Amino acid sequence: MSKPTTGEFTKTTGWLDWYDGPAKPSFALPAGAVDAHCHVFGPGAEFPYAPERKYTPCDASAAQLFALRDHLGFDKNVIVQATCHGADNRALVDALLRAQGRARGVATVKRSISDAELQTMHDAGVRGVRFNFVKRLVDFTPKDELMEIASRIQAWGWHVVIYFEAVDLPELWDFFTALPTTVVVDHMGRPNVSQPLNGPEFNLFMRFMREHPNVWSKVSCPERLSLSGPPALNGQAQPYRDVVPFARHVVESFPDRVLWGTDWPHPNLKEHMPDDGLLVNFISQIAVTPDLQQRLLVTNPTRLYWPELHSLERTNGA
């Protein structure tokens, strides 16, 4: 892979660049595995960062993402529009077209988007929109605008991806549970992993999934959620050990509604940048049987993002 650069933009002070030269994972990904949460950033010289962005990242191009995909052993990607590009989905759409069917996308759109623009994005491979409620990343969008967007994208068979902090779930509950589509939660709703697994905060998240069969969760981002960190930072043998019980509990409770992604190029990390190869090894701790791994990495993302391949698999008895 070529070295990270940032072109003509100045990176946010203290920005940690993505890790160049990741290890080859010792965990062998199953055939057809999907990295269901990753981003492209720019390159800024070609796809400028949005004026309303809250951070300026290190460039992370489609070619660099696909090199990582091949190195780690993934078959496909789901590329999620990052907030540094606002509602300008050009970098995302360009990456989807370059992927030639091996990537699907989740876009950010405004109420003013036309049907023709939605159709163009659909043709490129967009299958969802992301609603972001993390206050450090975005300005507020009124819920009636988001609900209108959700109703419109339903007609294309798209779903809604939601990103929020665990403390905000009570306030957002009524809106989330009124969404008419499949709803995919980023990073398990960002639990505070210093709290007990069966404490009120994570119990509410589990209830959210249990009572709403249209809700899925990404069990990704141990590097973002962990307080214990990776071994290099604290000398522990097991990386991100405090996240394991949370992610494993979600995988085992809802094996048919979970997804996993690298989150490459890992925006806004403050203390360390993970080696994506080692991050892949983490999967075997949270999906502990081959059956759970197959569902998490292949069956579920294929069903949601490539339903045409999923039905083929079933017809062939796979």
Active site residues: 263
Please, what is the Cα angle at 263 between 262 and 269, to 5 degrees? 120
For ligand 0GY (CB under 6 A), the number of binding residues is: 10
Q: Which amino acid is at 46?
A: E
Question: What is the per-residue binding string for ligand 0GY in 76-115, x denoting contact by CB under 6 A?
Answer: ------xxx-------------------------------
* Residue 277 · residue 23 · CB < 8 Å: yes
Binding letters toward ligand 0GY, positions 210-229, x by CB under 6 A: --------------x-----
Residue 22 CB, nearest approach to ligand 0GY (Å): 17
Residue closer to ligand 0GY (CB basis): 32 or 105: 105
Minimal distance, residue 203 CB to ligand 0GY, in Å: 23
Site for ligand 0GY in 255-294 (CB under 6 A): 263, 267-268
Query: Three-state DSSP class for 196?
Result: coil
Residue closer to ligand 0GY (CB basis): 186 or 275: 186
Minimum gap (Å) between residue 179 Cβ and ligand 0GY: 19
Residue with tokens 């199953």: 30
> 64 to 83, contacts with ligand 0GY by CB under 6 A?
82-83
Contact at 8 Å (CB) between 22 and 64? no
Given a contact cutoff of 8 angstroms between Cβ atoms, the answer to whether 124 and 103 are in contact is no
State the minimum distance, in angstroms, from the CB of residue 178 to ligand 0GY. Answer: 23
Residues in 5-64 that interact with ligand 0GY by CB under 6 A: 39
Q: Which is nearer to ligand 0GY, 57 or 125 (CB)?
A: 57
Token pair for 125? 């491979």
User: Which positions from 138 through 197 interact with ligand 0GY, judged by CB under 6 A?
Assistant: 186
Please check whether residue 131 is in contact with residue 153, taking contact to mean a CB–CB distance below 8 angstroms: no
Q: Could you give the CA distance from residue 304 to residue 82 in angstroms, rounded to a whole number?
A: 20
When the beta carbons of 224 and 257 are compared against ligand 0GY, the nearer one is 224
- Among residues 218 and 310, whose Cβ is nearest to ligand 0GY? 218
For ligand 0GY, the closer of residues 192 and 236 by Cβ is 192
137 binds ligand 0GY (CB under 6 A): yes
Minimum gap (Å) between residue 41 Cβ and ligand 0GY: 9
Q: For strand 215-218 and strand 34-38, is the pairing parallel, antiparallel, or unpaired?
A: unpaired
- Minimum CB separation from ligand 0GY for residue 18, in Å? 12
Q: Which of 214, 213, 220 is nearest to 251 (CA)?
A: 220
Per-residue b or e along 25-37, where b marks 16 or more CB atoms closer than 10 Å to that residue's CB: bebebeebbbbbb
d(CA 127, CA 153): 9
The Cβ of residue 289 has, within 10 Å, a number of other Cβ atoms equal to: 12
Rounded to an integer, what distance in angstroms lies between the CA atom of residue 263 and that of residue 57?
Answer: 14
Residues in contact with ligand 0GY by CB under 6 A are 39, 82-84, 137, 186, 224, 263, 267-268
